[in-house]
A and B are shown apart, each in its own frame.
Chain A
């Protein structure tokens, strides 16, 4: 039999067929748009990495004017809320033990006297270290407040020999929202492309319609592109929707070029969708495909992309692994477009990797697809 050539008509027919599949399942389609909405709202409103209220228990053995002055610095800083004044060391311990407070501060009996006589006095801080991040930051805050009180105690302001003038670029108020949302868009898109495409091929296998398709003169490349095209459109719409929300609802500045953003998105989508189809081709059953998609797309995008956790802080071998995580490059470029707006040449490495990833995965996925069909 003569092998038929690539046909645009057949491709168009397949795209239409896939679109009908999507439209017939409006729930899944709705979820493709609700997912970014919910995630953005969760991260934008419910979740901040900024630590605001730390619960503090105080055991003030001195009960002097000096100790009260010192303690006043805590609620005044707006980071702490003094939830309990306890009467014994054991009680302070119990509060930390039961997780009722993050920290307990113990002020010794001769606090005021020691200060007056110019002797160093010792304040004890008990912190619940089970959440290492909160504890580290909390201890830093306590230290800062204590230092400020110490300086004030000295009466005269001590001039420091070196004045460090700090400036923060790109995100001067250090808002975690500005940091999270651009990266989040990349993660959302990874999740959605994977969720949408990872089941498309295995579904056809499971319901037996793949055999029917094979019986038609359809070519693997046509089928592949036909599967991809509708989801590409959904993906672009999702990105536009997320970016609009980020800019107008969450006030994250979009400083870079919008066209550049679209171009990078297209590059990302080709890679992401191909990966989903590849997973689907390999898995054959939807149950396996869904689990596999989690391992190769969602989890790495969430954990290894630098979206929340800085790649530089990871152990060496894991840093190497992050190079095959597509979301990593997309996160980097999106953060750049949103906040830094430096020229595309500054993120050239990321762009090259993103393109390379898309090309390699596209070709490999198509090959796998070919083999399974033939």
Chain B
């Protein structure tokens, strides 16, 4: 039996690695994905494109604008003297926020009247819009406060206008870098795509070009065939985990506080599920086109409903229940906690247990289906 599995393994490896393009893709794809996710997925908002229409042109109005740019959140991309032009810049998408300071701003401030400025925010991107509004409001308030309090009284005024001092600390990721959060997640997503797609398509391919019949007339047993077909992809996936982890740690400087062995163990359990799904797709697909489409049908919802990019706690209840059937959900918690929190077995065991159960069930169902189709 082991001899047959071994032969099957050798055949699979030859087949997968025969095509030099495939060889490159298997190892280059995870790296490209990591780089794209690592750099592109920043939800940190800064350098918001700002257009300024300063009609007052006073030291005071300049000081206010200065406060906006000094904060680092806003970058002035254009000045204009025409309020209509401000709207046009937003229409064209050249600016995300427009600030208009009318004539009389400095006079109002000097004579103790409340001065008014106007800010238009492009709400198309709701996320950036919300943050931009928040920053703009905060900066204006700070400006007001600084003006209201004579310098020597600043301390007192601070206590007066702000009796509660809030000391915030973010744990595990003190600088709130979204990259730290994303890179471990990418490893999980890359694994899913590779193991799922390769397994599903490689099996259907044998059926499509007719070599499945040839395999079936050999004395190989269904279980051996399944093992021989899936083990190469398990191995490739493990190598990919190492490659991506290595780049994540060395290139992106993502700290890894926990145990690498525990991570590998989790990856093994996770691959049971993903390969189980791949196997299942292969039993319901006639052509590789169908296998590709079906894999995508699983892949996209799995990624979106995993907490990878969108927190699960924000989803409506029914969607939250669905996430419990998603192996990615559990592995994401495992990999992030091991990387960022250094959590060990005692905290993560429920995730491991869930992943193990899910993997066992998926693998069992697909293997049975696969066996039935063979005989």
- Residues of chain A at the chain B interface (Cβ within 8 Å): 25, 27-28, 31-32, 34-35, 38-39, 42-43, 45-53, 55, 70, 96-99, 102, 114-115, 118-137, 139-140, 142-144, 146-147, 149-151, 153-154, 158-176, 178-179, 191, 195, 199, 203, 206-207, 283, 285-288, 290-292, 294-295, 299-300, 303-304, 308-310, 312-315, 318, 332, 335-336, 339-340, 342, 346-347
Contacts of B214 in A (CB 8 A): none
A49 CB, nearest partner CB in chain B, Å: 5
Contacts of A176 in B (CB 8 A): 126-127
Contacts of A161 in B (CB 8 A): 109, 114-115, 143-144, 147-148
Contacts of B69 in A (CB 8 A): none
Contacts of B347 in A (CB 8 A): 97-98
Residue from B125, B313, B319 with most neighbouring chain A CB atoms (10 Å): B125
B181 touches A131 (CB 8 A): yes
Chain B contact residue count (CB 8 A cutoff): 116
The docked-state distance in angstroms from the alpha carbon of A206 to that of B36 is 32
Given A49-B126, A206-B208, A287-B22: A121 in contact with B164 (beta carbons within 8 A): yes
Beyond A150-B163, A154-B161, A303-B40, list 11 extra A-B contacts (CB 8 Å).
A35-B297, A45-B319, A47-B315, A120-B164, A129-B173, A168-B121, A169-B123, A199-B289, A286-B292, A291-B22, A304-B36
The docked-state distance in angstroms from the alpha carbon of A159 to that of B144 is 9
Which 10 residue pairs are nearest across A and B when measured between Cβ atoms? A129-B170, A171-B123, A129-B173, A46-B319, A164-B140, A133-B43, A161-B144, A168-B123, A132-B178, A160-B144
Q: Which of B1-9, B298-306, B352-360, B362-370 is the interface stretch?
A: B298-306
Contacts of B147 in A (CB 8 A): 161-162
Closest to A336 in B: B93
Task: Say yes or no for B90: interface residue by CB 8 A criterion.
Answer: yes
B51 CB, nearest partner CB in chain A, Å: 13
Contacts of A43 in B (CB 8 A): 304
The docked-state distance in angstroms from the alpha carbon of A176 to that of B36 is 23
Residue from A150, A164, A167, A169 with most neighbouring chain B CB atoms (10 Å): A164
Enumerate 26 A-B pairs (CB-CB under 8 Å) in ascending A order: A28-B287, A34-B297, A42-B305, A53-B314, A102-B313, A119-B159, A125-B167, A132-B177, A135-B176, A142-B166, A149-B164, A150-B162, A163-B117, A166-B119, A168-B120, A168-B123, A169-B122, A169-B123, A171-B123, A171-B129, A285-B19, A287-B198, A288-B21, A288-B25, A313-B44, A335-B124
A191 touches B122 (CB 8 A): no
Residue from B140, B168, B176, B300 with most neighbouring chain A CB atoms (10 Å): B168
B293 touches A166 (CB 8 A): no
B337 CB, nearest partner CB in chain A, Å: 8
What 0/1 readout, one digit per residue, does chain B (187-206) give for beta carbons within 8 Å of chain A?
Answer: 00000010001100110010
Contacts of B341 in A (CB 8 A): 97, 130
The docked-state distance in angstroms from the alpha carbon of A251 to that of B159 is 47
Interface residues of B in 219-235 (CB under 8 A from A): none
- Residues of chain B at the chain A interface (Cβ within 8 Å): 19, 21-22, 25-26, 28-29, 32-33, 36-37, 39-49, 64, 87, 90-93, 109, 114-131, 133-134, 136-137, 140-141, 143-145, 147-148, 158-174, 176-178, 180-181, 193, 197-198, 201-202, 205, 208-209, 286-290, 292-294, 296-297, 300-301, 304-305, 309-311, 313-316, 319, 333, 336-337, 340-341, 347
Residue from B39, B116, B178, B208 with most neighbouring chain A CB atoms (10 Å): B39
The docked-state distance in angstroms from the alpha carbon of A332 to that of B311 is 26
A37 CB, nearest partner CB in chain B, Å: 11
Contacts of A162 in B (CB 8 A): 64, 109, 114-117, 140, 143-144, 147
A174 touches B304 (CB 8 A): no
A296 CB, nearest partner CB in chain B, Å: 10
Contacts of A167 in B (CB 8 A): 118-121
A127 touches B170 (CB 8 A): yes
A168 touches B114 (CB 8 A): no
B314 touches A51 (CB 8 A): yes
Given A53-B314, A127-B169, A312-B49: A288 in contact with B22 (beta carbons within 8 A): yes
A163 touches B114 (CB 8 A): yes
The docked-state distance in angstroms from the alpha carbon of A137 to that of B311 is 13
The docked-state distance in angstroms from the alpha carbon of A313 to that of B46 is 7
A100 CB, nearest partner CB in chain B, Å: 11
The docked-state distance in angstroms from the alpha carbon of A292 to that of B29 is 8
Across the interface, A203 reaches (CB within 8 A) one of B137, B286, B288, namely B288
Contacts of B137 in A (CB 8 A): 164, 166
The docked-state distance in angstroms from the alpha carbon of A133 to that of B333 is 17
The docked-state distance in angstroms from the alpha carbon of A102 to that of B168 is 13
B170 touches A340 (CB 8 A): no
Across the interface, A174 reaches (CB within 8 A) one of B126, B292, B294, B315, namely B126
B163 touches A120 (CB 8 A): yes
Residue from A130, A176, A315 with most neighbouring chain B CB atoms (10 Å): A130
Residue from A122, A124, A170 with most neighbouring chain B CB atoms (10 Å): A170
Across the interface, B288 reaches (CB within 8 A) one of A146, A173, A287, namely A287
Contacts of A165 in B (CB 8 A): 116-119
B171 touches A126 (CB 8 A): yes
A49 touches B168 (CB 8 A): no
Contacts of B19 in A (CB 8 A): 285, 287-288
Contacts of B193 in A (CB 8 A): 294
Across the interface, B29 reaches (CB within 8 A) one of A48, A295, A309, namely A295
B169 touches A125 (CB 8 A): yes
Across the interface, B161 reaches (CB within 8 A) one of A122, A158, A294, namely A158
B121 touches A120 (CB 8 A): no
Contacts of B33 in A (CB 8 A): 295, 299
Contacts of B311 in A (CB 8 A): 51, 131, 134
Across the interface, B170 reaches (CB within 8 A) one of A50, A128, A151, namely A128
Given A288-B25, A310-B128: A150 in contact with B161 (beta carbons within 8 A): yes
A18 CB, nearest partner CB in chain B, Å: 13
Contacts of B114 in A (CB 8 A): 159-163
Closest to A313 in B: B42
